[in-house]
Amino acid sequence: MSRRVITLTAKQALEELSRPGPHPVLRGDLALVGLPGVIFTPRSGLGLPAVSFGHGWMQPVRRYHGLLRHLASWGFVAAAPAVERGPLLSARVLAANLLTTVDICTGMRLGSGEISVDPARVALAGHSMGGGAAVLAASEADRVRAVVTLAATETRPSALDAAREVTVPGLHLAAGEDRIAPPVGHSEAIAQAWGGPVQFRLLPKASHLGFTEGRHWSELLLDGHAERGSHKLGRAFVTAFLLRVLTGERRYDELLDSDVRNANLVFQRDALRRRPA
């Protein structure tokens, strides 16, 4: 007999998923296994889903700790390599390090041996150029099951071209006040070119740096700053999407399927519902 799934309204799901989840969180250092970066995990769990996250241009990884910790509290292993932080960021190198991070997470027991990742439940995500790098990496790796971008930018080599080769589900959140990477020529174009199921949402009040946390001197060069509203919406939609695609969780379907205030559903293609591999 199948278990009945009780779905929440979009508003209820947004409020629930924007708050920390039920899992106590541990923090670790990827440098201990040879790659600069950080990793957040639930306190324990075997066969967990995982997310490898790429930082934006000139952004330290600490500006995403809140998002990574949030995902870990909802049952994900969330890791971010701290590489390519200079002004001449190579999207290709960052993409390669995102996949190296996946290999680290799936190739060993984490913590005190009580945490492991299911290689069939892995996603890539990223902000700004890190989002473009996530698309590049996904086009080259068949072990990736989902991709999320936040205010993604076009890259060299082209994330737009790479998007055509990505057939796994993708969620792309764009910032309506983005003067660094206007959605039309960047994240929206990537979403339109997507080779698989895709959803594109526009946060009309968000700036390019709205998804980051804290303060950083790069705000003198780039447009925008950390925004509480962007954090709330970003955390809720990223969590809902990854829970649906990587774990088959249907409780939050209404959030992903609805046009939500300040997170406009611009377009989607095919169904995002997918049973985990």
Q: What is the pLDDT of residues 178-214, one digit of tens each?
A: 999 999 989 999 999 999 999 999 999 999 999 999 9
Q: Which CATH superfamily is domain 10-269 in?
A: Alpha/Beta hydrolase fold, catalytic domain (3.40.50.1820)
Predicted confidence (pLDDT) at residue 78 exceeds the cutoff of 80? yes
| Residues 83, 37 contacting (CB under 8 angstroms) | yes
Task: Provide the whole-model pTM.
Answer: 0.94
Q: In whole angstroms, how far apart are CA 159 and each of 48, 80, 153, 220, 227? A: 28, 19, 8, 26, 26
| Residues 122, 102 contacting (CB under 8 angstroms) | yes
CA 162/CA 133 separation, integer angstroms? 10
Give the pLDDT confidence of 2-16 residue by residue, as tens digits. Answer: 456 678 999 999 999
**Strand spans (E) along 141-225:** 146-150, 170-175, 198-203
Q: What are the residue boundaries of the structural domains of the chain, listed by start?
A: 10-269
| Residues 89, 129 contacting (CB under 8 angstroms) | yes
Residue 28, number of CB atoms within 10 A of its CB: 17
